[in-house]
Amino acid sequence: MVFLGTSSAVPVANRSFPSIAVLRKDEVIIVDCGEGAQRQMVIAGIGFCRRMKILITHLHGDHIGGLTGLMQTMSMLKRSRALDIYGPKGVKGFINSTIKYLKVKLQYPVNILEVKEGLIVKEKEYEIYAKKGLHPINEYCYLFKELPRPGRFNVQKAKSLGIPEGPLWHRIQSGEKVALDEKIIRPEAILGPSRPGRVLGFSGDTRPHSSLSKFFKNADLLVFESTYSDRDADKAAQNMHSTSSDAAKIAFGANVKMLALVHLSARYEDSSSLLSEALKHYKNVIIPEDLDVIEVPYPDSKEPLKIYHL
């Protein structure tokens, strides 16, 4: 996960508008696309022609203002692969209108889905779910969930069954059944118990509510907005945002492994107070800066989450 932008509605020198890139195998999933996201992608070395999905949490300018420019750049770079965009009702009209009036000529197909609560993406190896947040306009939180992976390959069992090393081993490791000498060998005869995948949560902009802890339950990493400090809790309530303590309480209730606070208001030159407030309610909290990276290991791995700056 690369944090492309971690500020809120007003950028500061070291924090750009909201945007996060999740890199998985040959695909990138972008959550929100604030102004300047594409420049951050260049710095991070994220290619514009990769398989890509873009998830928009809501239609406030700081979360979607960079989308049309990114789409235009992709076209100028001769992208031909389809681009999938997901967002609340109105995202299709926004995209179509800006493309029309800015006279952007796209060289690739664009698929736009206006989401509702529940399952919105179903791929072979993962799913993405949406849940409504509490904000002045229609807003969605997202949950990325890898499906269970096949168990570990038992070499001795494979050899005892006479399965030759090569393509058949690969197919079984992928969870496929294979035919050998007029017999059908199912993967569970060779593989150990299935292994859990990774789970990532993204809040967008929202007031805290208990159902979010259930939605983000047991996530490996939760990225939650922390626009305000506790001392400005009244402003958070008035503008329908969360404080650092609000985010930490959601993370504690969800039993997540790590909480990352983003969408910081420009009023706080020093984020250490936000971190201190959150740590009172939840022990594993970080405040990433722009172009920080978190490598999320599989849950059954002994490796910790790795954090570094590009």
140-146 and 199-202 strand pairing: antiparallel
Structure tokens at 88: 């609340």
DSSP 8-state class, residue 189: G
Contacts of 192 (CB under 8 A, 6+ apart): 151, 152, 154
DSSP three-state, residue 93: helix
- Contact between 63 and 17 under an 8 Å Cβ cutoff? The reply is yes
User: Of the residues 62, 205, 220, 290, which is catalytic?
Assistant: 62
Structure tokens at 299: 């849950």
**Active site (annotated) includes residue 32:** no
DSSP 8-state class, residue 164: P
What is the side-by-side strand order in the sheet with 306-309? Answer: 110-114, 83-87, 51-55, 27-31, 19-24, 2-5, 292-295, 306-309
- Contact between 112 and 85 under an 8 Å Cβ cutoff? The reply is yes
Q: What is the CA radius of gyration of the chain?
A: 21
Structure tokens at 255: 């039993």
Task: Report d(CA 292, CA 11) in Å as an integer.
Answer: 17
221-225 and 259-262 strand pairing: parallel
Annotated active-site positions, please? 62
